[in-house]
Amino acid sequence: MKILLLHSDFIEWEPKKKAIKQAEEIEKKIYKAEEALVVFSSVEKGDEKNTKNLVDKTVKEILDVYDEVKAKTIVIYPYVHLSQKPSKPDVALKVLKNVERILKEKGYEVYRAPFGWYKAFNIKVKGHPLSELSREITPEGEAKKENVSEALKKEKTLKSEWYILTPDGNAHKIEMKDGKIHGFDFKGNERLEKLVKYEITKNRLVTKEPPHIKLMKRLELVDYEPASDPGHFRFLPKGRLIKSLLERFVTKKTIEYGAMEVETPIMYDLDHPTLKKYLNRFPARQYVIETPNKHVFLRFAACFGQFLIAKDASISYRNLPLRIYELTRYSFRVEQRGELAGLRRLRAFTMPDCHALCANIEQAKEEIKRRFQLAKEVEEGIGFDIKKDIEFSVRIVKDFYEKNKKFVHEMVKLMDKPILVEMWSERFFYFVFKMEWNFVDALDKAACLATDQIDVENSERYGIYFTDKDNKRKHPIILHLSPSGSIERVMYALLEKAYMESQQGKNPVFPMWLSPTQIRIIPVSEKFVEDAAKISEEIEKHNIRVDVDDRNETVQKKIRDAETEWVPLIVVVGEREINEGVLAVRFRETGEVKKMNAEDVIKYVKDLTKDKPFIPLSLPKLITKRPVFIG
């Protein structure tokens, strides 16, 4: 049985229509429960052999969480979508009724949403770290629990104040009342307002499929992998191409900035004293596994490996800032099941991770400005418009802000737009300052892309030293930068951006350097396939990805299919084009058709892709030779 436990201000639901013939009889009206522990529940096929044990264990798990979060009511909410192997409806209903009965017998206020109905629901989750937990319960053995760090448990005790800082140096204190933000006029900054609401409510639950999921499948980029753990994906040839190009670009820019690339293990000893302490200072849930020799966890960032390298290095003040970089394939976090949403939030992801060791806070502040420019070059190089696509936020400890106001406001000037600030009354995490580049998607959910942090404690925890001018050993300040955010999340943002632009009447398209096929050549008939292939060979010599639609279809259908695949340039080849040496080029982004010779087409593509990495298309050049990966 799988359950998702959400500590909520309220949940309301309305039965709309029976989904199965075994659906319960119930009055169709709006039901509501407040201050509730909502238990989304799915009974599974394997649970049918011993439902009594299952019920007892489920009750225990619910009450353990109920007592910890101090809820006032319990809502049992049937949610078959949590499982890929649900039990028979009559078994599931019996289990849920028995859970409800036992809880009521113990004196708890319990509601149960109707079984077998399509229901509309509205929920407001509290947002503290224990407000969203998942459990997998089996009739035998203990319930499978997440490895939750102390940082996640204690994060809810931190008191936050929220502000909007503007480039002119003004700070506007804001608060949410009755679902509205008070204290700042968001006219002209509507996406920032969406970010603010998302961050203050901290509701990460995804109840509607994000548009990019359909797009990643339709474009044959990425698909779910049912044979793996949820949140792990298969990347198909075109998706792998885009991912690889992004990886190479971010790595190239980070090395140009001055970082030294390394490679470190993906798993570490859970009982290592230094690592164990760090785990409990980082707000993430870990994968924990057993090897033949040790109890280990899978890394959630490159911090461990890079810090251990720095610990064993001899570092002088002359080496600072010292920059270390790794593209982690992969990092792992056991994100909540209800939070998993395509490429936006995964459990296995590729993270460019760059740390810089600095002599002191002053050097760290100067370095973080330089890293801001790196992130700006990376995000703009990928294809994002900072003004239109990115909203900034900063999380900061109040004491650090008071001592470094000038630095913080200088950063806001660099961002050149109003930003959200969450200010903590005290420091619990290892950092005193964290900057985030956020993308707000079609469902008004925010996702952090680039991020940087000022870490004031891990050099001491890991025993990292440098020798200063006075010949004394000192601990450096550490900066944590991902100049792009996870590569998968970048792909999500590009797809969501394209979707939102399509809703405004624009033709969705990838940046030219990321388009799997940059030019498609369409012969008007089989007679011209060989000529089309020769043209493609000439274009290919210039490191341009080109293919040929040699199918026995009409030109109109071939063009429609190329448009559906977001091919940016479509070239139709027939007798006139062969004889005159002039090509009819259709530009997907604008819908224009222009007459161009091959040299001009090549120059057009090369101008748009200069300074970007190139990888040949790994699919067969002829469309008839390609398999269909997602039918």
Least confident of 279-288, 364-373, 449-458, 530-539: 279-288
CATH code reported for the domain at 2-145: 3.50.80.10
Residue-wise pLDDT tens digits, 593-622: 999 999 999 999 999 999 999 999 999 999
- List, in sequence order, the alpha helices (H) in 352-511: 361-382, 386-389, 398-403, 405-415, 458-462, 487-503
How far is C-alpha 594 from the chain's CA centre?
Answer: 39
pLDDT for 158 beyond 90? no
More confident residue, 190 or 127: 190
pLDDT for 100 beyond 80? yes
- Segment 142-158 shows an average pLDDT of 55
Say which CATH class 207-266+299-497 falls into: alpha beta
| CA separation, residue 192 to residues 125, 446, 507 (Å) | 21, 10, 25
pLDDT score recorded for residue 294 = 86
- Segment 541-561 shows an average pLDDT of 97
pLDDT band for position 148 (50/70/90)? Answer: low
What CA–CA distance (Å, rounded) separates 211 from 342? 10
* 3-state secondary structure labels for all residues of 538-592: HHHCCCCCEEECCCCCCHHHHHHHHHHCCCCEEEEECHHHHHHCCEEEEECCCCC
CATH code reported for the domain at 512-625: 3.40.50.800
Retrieve residue 437's tokens.
């580049």
Residue-wise pLDDT tens digits, 66-87: 988 889 999 999 998 888 789 9
pLDDT band for position 117 (50/70/90)? Answer: very high
Average pLDDT, the chain: 92
- Segment 560-588 shows an average pLDDT of 95
Strand 322-332 and strand 117-125: pairing? unpaired
Residue-wise pLDDT tens digits, 249-307: 999 999 999 999 999 999 999 888 888 777 766 656 788 888 888 889 899 899 989 99
What CA–CA distance (Å, rounded) separates 25 from 18? 9
pLDDT score recorded for residue 156 = 56
- Segment 487-512 shows an average pLDDT of 97
pLDDT score recorded for residue 283 = 54
- Segment 563-571 shows an average pLDDT of 97
Q: What share of the chain is helix, strand, coil (3-state, %, to 5)?
A: 35, 30, 35
pLDDT for 141 beyond 80? no
Structural domain spans, the chain: 2-145, 207-266+299-497, 512-625
What CA–CA distance (Å, rounded) separates 490 from 604? 25
Instruction: Report the candidate in 507, 504, 520 with the shortest Cα–Cα distance to residue 583.
Output: 520
Q: Which residue has the tokens 């770290």?
A: 129
Residue-wise pLDDT tens digits, 296-321: 989 989 998 999 999 999 999 999 99
Retrieve residue 558's tokens.
């071939």
Retrieve residue 621's tokens.
């050049």
pLDDT band for position 14 (50/70/90)? Answer: very high
pLDDT score recorded for residue 49 = 83
